Amino acid sequence: MFNYLRKRFTSHIRERSRRRARLVSKDGRCNIEFGNVEQSRFVFLIDIWTTILDLRWRYKMTIFISAFLGSWFLFGLLWYAVAYIHKDLPEFNPSINHTPCVENINGLTSAFLFSLETQVTIGYGFRCVTEQCATAIFLLIFQSILGVIINSFMCGAILAKISRSKNRAKTITFSKNAVISKRGGKLCLLIRVANLRKSLLIGSHIYGKLLKTTITPEGETIILDQVNIEFVVDAGNENLFFISPLTIYHVIDKNSPFFHTAAETILQQDFELVVFLDGTVEATSATCQVRTSYIPEEVLWGYRFAPIVSKTKEGKYRVDFQNFSKTVAVETPHCALCLYNEKEAKAKEKKGYDNPGFVLSEVSETSDTQM
C-alpha cells in the first residue's frame, strides 16, 4: 500500500512538473520570463500608453486614484501658498477692505477643497478667484488645463482597457483535449473550437505552431523550435463561418511532424502544440487573437469528439456544450505510417504487373487445307 501511494505521488509530482513546463497556458497566457535585459525600464515609460493598458486592474486603479488625489493635493498646496504670500489667511488679520486672491480660503483644508472644486469643475460658488492676483488667475488656468489632460488620459485608459479585443477572446473556447482519429480516410489531429457569442469574428484564420527541442546537424540545440502546423476545416482555414462550434483538423501525412508518431510513443515525446485563432471583432472592427496549447498528455489517440449540434422540433439548431470536450473511442490505426503502407498495399493489389521474362510469339496461319 505504501509503495502504491509513493508511486502515485511520484507520478503526480512528475506530471505537475511536466505540465508547468509549457510556454502557453490553456487560457492563452504566455509563461516566459525575460532576464538580464540591458535596456533600462525607462523605455517602457516612453510608450506610456501601452504600459498603462498592459497593467493589471489593481495597479491601474491605484494610478488612477493617485493621479487625481495627488494633483488635488499639489494644487491645494499651491493655492495655500498664494493665499499665504498675499496674506489672505486669518492669522494675518487682514483689514475689512482687503481683497483676497481667492475668497474664503482660511487654511490648508479649504485650499484643498478649492483645488478639488476647480479641477472637477464643481463650482459651488462659495470660493472663487478674484481679479486681484495675476498669479491666482494663471494658476487657475494651468490647473484647469492639466485637469482636463489627466481626466482624458485616465478615462481613456480605462475605456480602452475595457474595450480591448483581448476581452473578446475570453468568449472563444477550445476543447480541453485534442484527438487523433481517421477523418475522410486520413489520419488527422482534431481540435474543437467554439464561439460563445452570436456575433461573428470576421476574416477568421486558424493555424498552429509545434514547439519542441531539436538538435541541428551541426550539433546546436534549439529550445522552443517552431514548426508550422496547418489546420483546416471542410471549407478551408480562412474566413470561417464561426456561428457554431467547428472541428478543425490537421492531416497527418508525410509532411506532418506527427507522421512518425505512434499511439505507443506519443506520451514519451516532449512537445507543445500551440493553436492560434485570429479574427476581427464584428462590433468594434478590432483584431483579436485567441490561443491555447496542448501537451502530449492532452492528445488522445483513437478518439473523436461527440456530436454537439442537434435540431429541435421547432426547427432551431441547438448546441449542447455539455458534450463540447466529450470524446468517444473509435477504431484508429496506431500510426500514420501504418495507414499509409496499408493504403499503398491495397492500391498495388488493384494494379497489374509486367513480366519481363514473358515473350509473345506470333503463329502464322496458312490458308491451305488438307483433305
pLDDT score for 152: 92
Give the CATH number of the domain where residue 84 resides.
Answer: 1.10.287.70
Confidence band for 264, pLDDT divided at 50, 70 and 90 = confident
Q: Which domain holds residue 285?
A: 167-350
Classify residue 370: in a domain, yes or no.
no
> Could you tell me if residue 121 is inside a domain?
yes
CA distance linking residue 285 with residue 210, whole number of Å: 30
Range scoring the smallest mean pLDDT among 17-26, 199-208, 289-298: 17-26
Share the mean pLDDT of the chain: 82
Residue ending a domain, choose from 140, 163, 186? 163
Q: Is the residue at 128 inside a domain?
A: yes
Residues 43 and 137 in one domain: yes
Burial of residue 152 (CB within 10 Å: 0-12, 13-18, 19+) is: exposed
Please check whether residue 199 is in contact with residue 91, taking contact to mean a CB–CB distance below 8 angstroms.
no
**How many distinct structural domains can be found in the chain?**
2
What is the sign of the dihedral through the CA atoms of 41, 211, 301 and 19? negative
Q: Rounded to two decimals, what is the model's pTM?
A: 0.68
- pLDDT for residue 254: 86
Specify if 74 maps to a domain: yes
Structure confidence at residue 253 as a pLDDT band (50, 70, 90): confident
Q: Are 132 and 223 contained in the same domain?
A: no
Average pLDDT over residues 229-245: 75
Listed residue (301, 300, 326, 294) closest to 18, CA to CA: 294
Integer Cα distance of 88 and 108 in angstroms: 12
Structural domain includes residue 242: yes
Residues 60 and 202 in one domain: no
Q: Are residues 285 and 246 in the same domain?
A: yes
- If asked whether residues 159 and 177 sit together in one domain, one would say no
Q: Which tens digit of pLDDT belongs to each residue from 312-343?
A: 888 888 888 888 889 999 988 888 777 777 66
| 110 lies in the same domain as 238 | no
- Same domain assignment for residues 203 and 155: no
Q: What is the pLDDT of residue 363?
A: 53
Task: Check whether residue 106 and residue 191 sit in a common domain.
Answer: no
Same structural domain for residues 127 and 276? Answer: no
Residue (of 303, 329, 44) closest to 189 by Cα position: 303
At 371, the pLDDT band (50, 70, 90 cuts) reads very low
**pLDDT tens sequence across 128-154:** 898 888 999 999 999 999 999 999 998
Q: Looking at residues 68-88, what average pLDDT do you find?
A: 93
Predicted pLDDT of residue 62: 92
Based on the domain organization, do 158 and 253 belong to the same domain? no
Q: What is the CATH number of the domain that holds 327?
A: 2.60.40.1400
Q: Which one, of 138, 116, 135, 136, lies nearest residue 126 by Cα? A: 116
Q: Could you tell me if 135 and 275 lie in one domain?
A: no
